[in-house]
Each structure stands twice: as C-alpha cells, then as structure tokens.
Chain A
C-alpha cells in the first residue's frame, strides 16, 4: 500500500506532563459526533427517569432536576474515534444524587436518550462520583448539538457512553448491548485499557 508522502495525522501538542490514553490524540476543537438528528425537547416536556431493576422508580421534571444539588467539574474526555479533549468544564447533577434512596436490584444500566440512542454500562461506572447528568458546558447551557438540555457524562469511559439527550437510566439484571455495543463496541469502554471493541 502506498505511503502518501508528507501526510500525517492532524493533532495538537499535549501540554507538558499530560498523559493521554493509548491511541488517543489531542484536539483543540469539540467535534460533534452523532448517530441521528438532534432531538428537540421543550423543557416543559423534558423528563429524566430511573427505572427497571430498582427498588423505587423515580422521575424529575426539568425544574425538579435543576433543583437537585449540582456541581462544577473539570474532566478530560476521550472519544473512541481517537480524539481527546483535556480540562473540559461541566456543571451537572451527580448520578449518586439521582440514585440517593434508590436501591438498585440489577448490576447493569442502559441509558436511553431522546431520539432512540442507547448505551449500556456496569453500575459501578455510574456511581461513587464517576458520573453526572450534565446541563452546562464551558459556563453556558449545554447546546443541543452537544447533548443539551442534558446528557450523561461518564468521563472515565469513552465518550460514546456519555449518552447525549439522556432521558432514562434503566437498571438491568443482565447486561445488554446498546446502539454501538450491538455492532461490536465494548460493553464497558475504559480508554486506559483501550477497551474499544468487544473482547478487548
């Protein structure tokens, strides 16, 4: 196969001492990746729910959700298409706060989004300060193209697990593959162990 003279991957230089997961490259933009049209959800009809294999289903309207305690976080994000973005600022409600008083009866969660997207995760990857439902990015309300009004944010896993336009966390007894996982992407997706595909 011919090498194209002088062609190279486009990437930004990582800051001194910054570590990227294997196979990742820094980007200075914020690429918009999508599997479908941006859903348009009026806030007065938006709802977030927790259901399935749990003792105590619950749901929140937008106002109820925004009344929950939220926090500002700065995290690195890693996309399986190999771009990474360091030091991104978000504001969101911790998933621990959403699950406060809820007893999970299953070990897996399927996140469902407006528009039909799904992604599955083990429950440990959503709890103990590892995940949020984020409603602001970079100091402003989260734009629809980046998942607004609210998206799941699970920065320690590849970004396809951070379901945009999240509307429901459904707990499951057994793991089931979501949208990309059913094509062969990994059920967990830890970028530091380069878990891109099933079997990695």
Chain B
C-alpha cells in the first residue's frame, strides 16, 4: 500500500541543517533496529503530523524523530546506531 504523503530523507535536509553542520542527507545511518545502513537521504520521512519522523526503509523502525516545542527543536536520535559523515 503506498503512502500518499511519504517523503524521502532529502525532505529533512533543511531541518537537519539545524542540527548538523555537514550535509546530513549524504551521511550513512545504521538502523539501531535491524542494522541496515543507508544514506539518510534514502530514509522514509513522515512529516505531516505534530513532528517529523524518519524511518528505516528496510524495517520501518523509527531512526529519528523531531518536534518543535515552543519554537525549540527537539531531536530524538536513539533509532540511529551510528551516523557516518
């Protein structure tokens, strides 16, 4: 079933630039869930809700979650084992 509003990790590039100095979409993320590695740009992004969620394209586990709470960016990166820039 396709998800009409799903985006690529590329769509998170602007938000990630608030967090990381080097370009983050070309960084390679290791999923803490299944161990799969891939470019952040190839992650699945769900951005319509109260925050933005990046998921592993292999196992669908949450890699990163973001919300803007009173204007401050809150980042939960526990779904990423390592990020290689």
B32-58 Cβ-contact flags toward A at 8 Å (1 or 0): 000000000000101011110101000
The stretch of B11-19, B21-29, B65-73 in contact with A is B65-73
Q: Chain B contacts of A60 at CB under 8 A?
A: none
B42 nearest CB across to chain A (Å): 16
A104 CA to B80 CA, complexed, in Å: 37
A67 at the interface (CB under 8 A from B): no
A40 CA to B5 CA, complexed, in Å: 17
A174-187 Cβ-contact flags toward B at 8 Å (1 or 0): 00000110111100
A88 nearest CB across to chain B (Å): 18
Asked if A197 meets B53 with Cβ closer than 8 Å, knowing A35-B46, A37-B3, the reply is: no
The number of chain B residues with a CB under 8 A from chain A is: 22
B83 at the interface (CB under 8 A from A): no
Asked if A31 meets B48 with Cβ closer than 8 Å, knowing A38-B1, A183-B65, the reply is: yes
Q: DSSP majority for the B interface?
A: strand
A116 CA to B79 CA, complexed, in Å: 14
Checking B5, B60, B62 against A34 with a beta-carbon cut-off of 8 angstroms, the contacting residue is B5
A160 CA to B69 CA, complexed, in Å: 15
Decide: B49 and A35 in contact? CB cutoff 8 A: yes
Decide: A180 and B53 in contact? CB cutoff 8 A: no
A31 CA to B3 CA, complexed, in Å: 14
What is the chain B residue whose CB lies nearest that of A116? B62
Checking A33, A37, A116, A144 against B49 with a beta-carbon cut-off of 8 angstroms, the contacting residue is A33
Interface residues of A in 1-45 (CB under 8 A from B): 31-38, 40
B8 nearest CB across to chain A (Å): 14
Asked if A37 meets B50 with Cβ closer than 8 Å, knowing A182-B76, A183-B76, the reply is: no
B67 nearest CB across to chain A (Å): 4
A117-156 Cβ-contact flags toward B at 8 Å (1 or 0): 0000000000000000000000000001100000000000
What is the chain A residue whose CB lies nearest that of B3? A37
A183 CA to B60 CA, complexed, in Å: 19
Q: Chain A contacts of B6 at CB under 8 A?
A: 37
A163 at the interface (CB under 8 A from B): no
A81 at the interface (CB under 8 A from B): yes
Show 20 A/B contacts (Cβ-Cβ < 8 Å), sorted by A.
A32-B5, A33-B48, A34-B3, A34-B5, A34-B46, A35-B46, A35-B49, A35-B53, A35-B65, A37-B3, A38-B3, A81-B50, A145-B4, A160-B49, A179-B65, A182-B76, A183-B67, A185-B50, A197-B69, A198-B69
The residues of B with any CB-CB pair to A shorter than 8 Å are 1, 3-6, 44, 46, 48-51, 53, 55, 60, 62, 65-67, 69-70, 74, 76
